Amino acid sequence: MKKIISTPHAPNAIGPYSQAVEINGMLFISGQIPIDPETGKMVPGGITEQTTQVMKNIGAILERAGYSFKDVVKSTCLLSDMDNFSAMNAVYGASYPENPPARAAYGVVKLPLGALIEIETIAVKG
C-alpha cells in the first residue's frame, strides 16, 4: 500500500503532488527546488547555496520516511544552466561520499520559481 510522506522540514508541495511516496520499500521523492521550508522562499545566492538547500530538503524527507542518503539508488538533477554542473556536483557529492547512486543530469530551459536546480530522488530499503 502506498504511503504519503510529508515533513514540515521540507517545502510544501506547490502543486498537486506529494513530497514523497513510499511503496514496497521504495521511496520516491518529488523534485526538490531550493525553497527554505522556514520562510517558504527561495534561498538567496547561486548554485552552491541552492544545491545545498535542495540536499537539505531531500535529507529531511529521507529522515522523515526512515531512510538516509545511503539508501538513495537514483537521482535526477535538472539544471537551468549546464555551466553550473561542476559547482552543483561538488555540493551534491558531499551527501554521497561512498557508493553514490546512479544519476542523470539534464540542462532544462526553465525550472519552477526561477530555481537554478531541481533534484528528484529514489531510495530503497536494503
Task: Return d(Cα 16, Cα 116) in angstroms, integer.
Answer: 22
CATH no. of 3-124: 3.30.1330.40
Grid coordinates in use for 117?
536546480
**Amino acid letter for position 121:** T
- Show the low-confidence residues of the chain (pLDDT under 50): none
Predicted local confidence at residue 15, as pLDDT: 86
Predicted local confidence at residue 43, as pLDDT: 97
Task: Return d(Cα 72, Cα 80) in angstroms, integer.
Answer: 23
Predicted local confidence at residue 69, as pLDDT: 98
Q: What is the pTM of this model?
A: 0.96
Domain segments of the chain: what residues?
3-124
Q: What is the SS3 assignment for 26?
A: strand
